[in-house]
């Protein structure tokens, strides 16, 4: 039975693409010229408008992967749609985690004087990156049992997600070079306001729209890959038994 081959209606997907482009342009304008220079970190602080949204997207992407994996493991909602969604979201999560690490390094050099520090937040984020790289590698292992393979993937995704709250709360649990949460701190007391806060929220919204757009595209590509693999298997079986192979037009 064919599973759902796309997440969003094509018109909605195109609208998200336009919205993400517009919002990213607005972010660039505010981030470079609209927001004032920070009194302490000077121009280097402008990296925050990319670094924080990238970190948020990593959390969101891995959260979607964990939720989809849990839905697959629950018998009542078991469907390969959830496994496909989990894999697509994890790929984007790894991309945004890598971007978070790179931007953090670029920010850390002028502020801390070094590109990398063995800081709790940095180390746990790097561990998160490699955990999900391992998850994606696990998904590539060939298997003749799609359901069994998806169960294995789902369990691995839920285990890897344990590191997400560790990353987030690391600045609260340990003494670190990394500053504490600017907005989503335990006290919910935002340490930023005015145009800076507006620019940061524009960044979060822009990156979230971009994530939704890319997730739809990656899911569609995964659907096409699965369909192609099914056709190759059917053709191989037909060849073995000597049956005519139907060529898709």
Residue 199 is part of a domain; what is its CATH number?
A: 1.20.120
- Which has more confidence, 152 or 236? 152
User: How many percent of the chain have pLDDT more than 70?
Assistant: 85
Residue 129 lies in a domain: yes
Residue 245 lies in a domain: no
Predicted confidence (pLDDT) per residue in 13-49, tens digit: 999 999 999 999 999 999 999 989 887 888 888 999 9
Residue 81 lies in a domain: yes
Confidence tier at 172 by pLDDT (50, 70, 90)? confident
Residue 158 lies in a domain: yes
pLDDT at 223: 87
Residue 78 lies in a domain: yes
CB 113 within 8 A of CB 60: no
Estimate to the nearest angstrom the gap between the alpha carbon of 47 and the chain centroid.
19
CB 213 within 8 A of CB 13: yes
Q: Which range, 103-117, 149-163, 168-182, is most confident?
A: 149-163
Residue 239 lies in a domain: no
What residue numbers bound the domain in which 124 lies?
Answer: 10-228
Residue 2 lies in a domain: no
Statement: residue 162 has pLDDT above 60:
yes
CB 67 within 8 A of CB 134: no
- What's the mean pLDDT in 214-232? 83
What is d(CA 94, CA 127) in angstroms, rounded to the nearest whole number? 11
Predicted confidence (pLDDT) per residue in 133-142, tens digit: 999 999 999 8
* Structural domains in the chain (count): 1
Give pTM, 2 decimals.
0.87
What is d(CA 212, CA 61) in angstroms, rounded to the nearest whole number? 10
pLDDT at 235: 62
- Which has more confidence, 208 or 172? 208
Classify residue 243 by its DSSP letter: P
Residue 4 lies in a domain: no
Statement: residue 215 has pLDDT above 70:
yes
């Amino acid at each position: 039975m064919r599973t759902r081959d796309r997440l969003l209606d094509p018109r909605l997907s195109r609208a998200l693409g336009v919205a993400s482009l517009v919002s990213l342009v607005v972010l660039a304008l505010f981030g470079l010229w609209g927001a004032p220079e920070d009194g302490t970190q000077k121009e280097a602080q402008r990296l925050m408008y990319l670094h924080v949204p990238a970190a948020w997207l990593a959390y969101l992407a891995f959260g979607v992967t964990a939720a989809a994996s849990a839905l697959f493991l629950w018998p009542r909602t078991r469907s390969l749609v959830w496994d496909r969604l989990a894999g697509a979201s994890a790929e984007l999560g790894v991309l945004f985690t890598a971007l978070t690490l790179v931007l953090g390094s670029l920010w850390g050099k002028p502020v801390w004087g070094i590109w990398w520090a063995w800081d709790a937040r940095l180390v746990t984020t790097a561990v998160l990156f490699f955990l999900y790289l391992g998850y994606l590698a696990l998904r590539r292992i060939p298997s003749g049992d799609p359901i069994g393979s998806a169960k294995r993937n789902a369990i691995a995704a839920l285990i890897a997600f344990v590191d997400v709250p560790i990353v987030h709360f690391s600045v609260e649990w340990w003494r670190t070079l990394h500053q504490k949460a600017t907005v989503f701190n335990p006290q919910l007391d935002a340490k930023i306001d005015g145009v800076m806060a507006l620019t940061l929220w524009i960044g979060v919204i822009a990156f979230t729209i971009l994530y939704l757009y890319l997730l739809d595209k990656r899911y569609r590509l995964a659907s096409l890959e699965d369909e192609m693999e099914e056709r190759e298997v059917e053709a191989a079986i037909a060849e073995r038994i000597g049956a005519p192979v139907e060529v898709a037009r």
